[in-house]
Amino acid sequence: MIENGFRILLADPQVEAILINIFGGILRCDILAVGVVEAARKTGLQLPVVVRMEGTHAEQGRKILAESGLELITARGLDDAVRILREVAGRIDGEMSK
């Protein structure tokens, strides 16, 4: 499902970054992280991806993302995720977004 989501987003040339916001209660964050890494590799994802995850096995999930070698940025909380997305958008646009 993550791979299909990435393919839909990649089809839109206006998408500059992706935010994944997960609270792992039913789905463990480590399982989600493995799916994100596999989907990013299969799709050849080149966009920055910010992942905010809280809940069951969130630390393990963050570790999987960090060790993937991909541009998968973890955020702690929604405020942190928004700050990171603004920084990423600034790099893409050549200036900091307001």
Please name each of the domains of the chain with its CATH number: 2-93 (3.40.50.261)
Structure tokens at 26: 């039913």
**H helices of 13-57, where?**
29-43
Rg (CA), the chain: 13
pLDDT digits (tens, 9 = 90+) for 11-23: 999 998 999 998 8
Q: How many Cβ atoms sit within 10 Å of the Cβ of residue 78?
A: 12
26 falls in which pLDDT band (50, 70, 90)? confident
Q: What's the whole-number average pLDDT of the chain?
A: 89
Q: What is the pLDDT of residue 92?
A: 62
Q: Integer distance in angstroms from the first to the last C-alpha of the chain? A: 33
